[in-house]
Amino acid sequence: MKAVFLLLSGLIFCHFKSAGQAVELCQGAYFTEQQGKEFLEKHKVTSKVAWETRSAQIRKQIREGMDLQTLPPKPASKPMVHSRKEMDGYSIESVAFESLPGIYVTGNLYKPLKKQRSYAAILSPHGHGENPHGRFREQTQKRCATLARMGAIVFVWDMVGQGDAKQCEHKMPKALKLQTINSIRSLDYILSIPGVDPERVAVTGESGGGTQTFLLAALDDRVKVSVPVVMVSSYFFGGCVCESGMPIHKKGDYQTNNVEIAALAAPRPMIMISDGGDWTKNTPEVEYPFVKSIYSLYGKTDRLEAVHLPDEKHDFGPSKRNAMYAFMAKHLKLDLKEVSDASGKINEEPAKVLTQKELEVFNEAHPRPDNAVMGDAAVMGLL
């Protein structure tokens, strides 16, 4: 029965691709800026009931579009955790665990050295980037280490096909589905760590990691705080197959965009961080007012913030990180003083940038397990 269903869903997907890919897939700047603005004006709702009807429809199409109506069973294998390094105020470990039988999520776990009764947990998906890949970039290492110094347990994991997750190419047809499964399993993993407080769980990432951030917050209410960075746009739908390569935004007459998807975080605390150098440049006038109108339906506009940096570009640079740290401190009860100097300025210096070799998960001493499925065709077969 299962095989028949998989075959059928495969055929439906192929049908989309051959008959109507351009219509069903909304990729890159699928809207013009004007169309994005008009779409949000047209979809403003004035009651909580109307929004909850709309939000159920949006969630349904995300799940159907990425062929994830039901989550595959969770593998029973134990996570591999090794190569603990003690740093200045935090530790780093290398981690791998199965998200599907034979598929390994690979990343680094950052923990505060200071013992606490309970810990906030922060998932930290990264954006696209080459040389080095996202997990190893300075902006990623700095934010994970600094959040750990503030008292949180932080997990950053490789995008599909990057870093130690080289079981398939990044740009394979169901990368969006696999990355979403990996996000949900990363949430399972961090919640399984002893001492983690399930009421203090956040996710933050930039660009493609911003897409992973708002999709996870939309689909999983175990996420209590979200910080999507430089990605929530009324007209840009994500440029990579891992963001918009499956029809989550459109089906026939139905259409959504990433602003409505990000608004599914309401009424949980969220800060939208944007800049003047990319598709988030209109945030103060377009995206933020729409999302605020949704939070106002719950009487919770105090839980929504926005920081716009008009002179900055598409990254998770220091000023964007500072805005995120302050928001996390406020909503996760973390200690900003632990990372601030006498004048109150955040000091990221103790967060040391390590090499890819120092952060690796699989090597001679810790080989990729024998059951790992290798190659696009084999991985697609599991999806």
Binding residues (CB under 5 A) for Zn ion: these are 240, 242
User: Which residue lies nearer to Zn ion by CB, 244 or 256?
Assistant: 244
User: Which residue lies nearer to Zn ion by CB, 151 or 163?
Assistant: 163
Taking the complex as a whole, the smallest distance from the CB of residue 182 to Zn ion amounts, in Å, to 12
User: Which residue lies nearer to Zn ion by CB, 95 or 242?
Assistant: 242
User: Which residue lies nearer to Zn ion by CB, 176 or 291?
Assistant: 176
Rounded distance between C-alpha atoms, residue 352 and residue 96, angstroms = 22
The answer to whether 340 and 89 have CB atoms below 8 angstroms apart is no
User: Which residue lies nearer to Zn ion by CB, 153 or 242?
Assistant: 242
Taking the complex as a whole, the smallest distance from the CB of residue 311 to Zn ion amounts, in Å, to 27
Burial of 2: CB neighbours in 10 Å, binned 0-12, 13-18, 19+: exposed
The answer to whether 227 and 241 have CB atoms below 8 angstroms apart is no
Distances (CA, A) of 36 to 6, 251, 272, 279, 285: 35, 17, 17, 11, 12
Taking the complex as a whole, the smallest distance from the CB of residue 128 to Zn ion amounts, in Å, to 5
Taking the complex as a whole, the smallest distance from the CB of residue 240 to Zn ion amounts, in Å, to 3
Taking the complex as a whole, the smallest distance from the CB of residue 25 to Zn ion amounts, in Å, to 14
Rounded distance between C-alpha atoms, residue 215 and residue 178, angstroms = 13
Distances (CA, A) of 173 to 83, 97, 180: 34, 23, 13
User: Which residue lies nearer to Zn ion by CB, 151 or 209?
Assistant: 209
The answer to whether 110 and 148 have CB atoms below 8 angstroms apart is yes
Taking the complex as a whole, the smallest distance from the CB of residue 360 to Zn ion amounts, in Å, to 21
Rounded distance between C-alpha atoms, residue 108 and residue 186, angstroms = 11
User: Which residue lies nearer to Zn ion by CB, 169 or 197?
Assistant: 169
Taking the complex as a whole, the smallest distance from the CB of residue 79 to Zn ion amounts, in Å, to 24
The answer to whether 205 and 125 have CB atoms below 8 angstroms apart is yes
At 175, list the tokens: 């990368």
- Identify any residues that bridge with 97 across adjacent strands, giving them in sequence order: 105
Q: Which amino acid is at 268?
A: R
Quickly count: other Cβ atoms within 10 Å of residue 300's Cβ: 14
Taking the complex as a whole, the smallest distance from the CB of residue 205 to Zn ion amounts, in Å, to 12
Quickly count: other Cβ atoms within 10 Å of residue 32's Cβ: 10
Rounded distance between C-alpha atoms, residue 208 and residue 240, angstroms = 8
Taking the complex as a whole, the smallest distance from the CB of residue 166 to Zn ion amounts, in Å, to 14
User: Which residue lies nearer to Zn ion by CB, 159 or 291?
Assistant: 159
Rounded distance between C-alpha atoms, residue 349 and residue 90, angstroms = 13
Quickly count: other Cβ atoms within 10 Å of residue 196's Cβ: 17
- 226 by DSSP, 3-state: which? strand
- Whether residue 310 is preceded by a cis peptide bond, meaning omega within 30 degrees of 0, is no
User: Which residue lies nearer to Zn ion by CB, 175 or 309?
Assistant: 175
